[in-house]
Amino acid sequence: MKQTALITGASGGIGMELAHIHASKGDNLVLIARTKEKLDALKLELETQFGISVYNISLDLSDTDAPKKIFNELKDKKIHIDFLINNAGFGDFGVFAECNWEKQSEMINLNVIALAHLTRLFLPDMIKSKSGKILNVASTAAFQPGPGMSVYFASKAFVLSFSESIANELKGTGVTVTVLCPGATATGFRKAAALEKSRLFTGKQIASSREVAEFGYEKMMKGKIVVIHGFMNNILVQSLRMAPRNIITAVAKMKLKEK
CATH classification of the domain holding 140: 3.40.50.720
**Distance between CA atoms of residues 70 and 56, nearest Å:** 10
Domain coverage including residue 137: 4-256
Predicted pLDDT at 151 = 97
pTM of the entire structure? 0.87
Burial of 130 (0-12, 13-18, 19+ CB in 10 A): exposed
pLDDT score at 201: 45
Which residues have a catalytic role annotated?
Answer: 152
Q: Domain count for the chain, please give it.
A: 1
The pLDDT of residue 231 is 86
Percent of the chain whose predicted confidence (pLDDT) is above 90: 78
In tens, the pLDDT along 53-68 reads 999 999 999 999 999 9
Instruction: For 220-251, give the secondary structure using H, E and C.
Output: HHCCCCEEECCHHHHHHHHHHHHCCHHHHHHH
pLDDT, tens digit, for every residue of 157-210? 999 999 999 999 999 999 999 999 999 877 665 554 455 554 554 545 789 999
Spatial distance between the Cα atoms of 19 and 213, rounded to a whole number of angstroms: 9
pLDDT at residue 191, as a whole number:
54
Cβ 72 vs Cβ 121: under 8 Å: no
Task: State yes or no: pLDDT of 3 exceeds 70.
Answer: yes
How confident is the model over 113-128, as a mean pLDDT? 98
How much is the pLDDT for 103?
Answer: 97
Q: Is the pLDDT of residue 234 over 90?
A: no
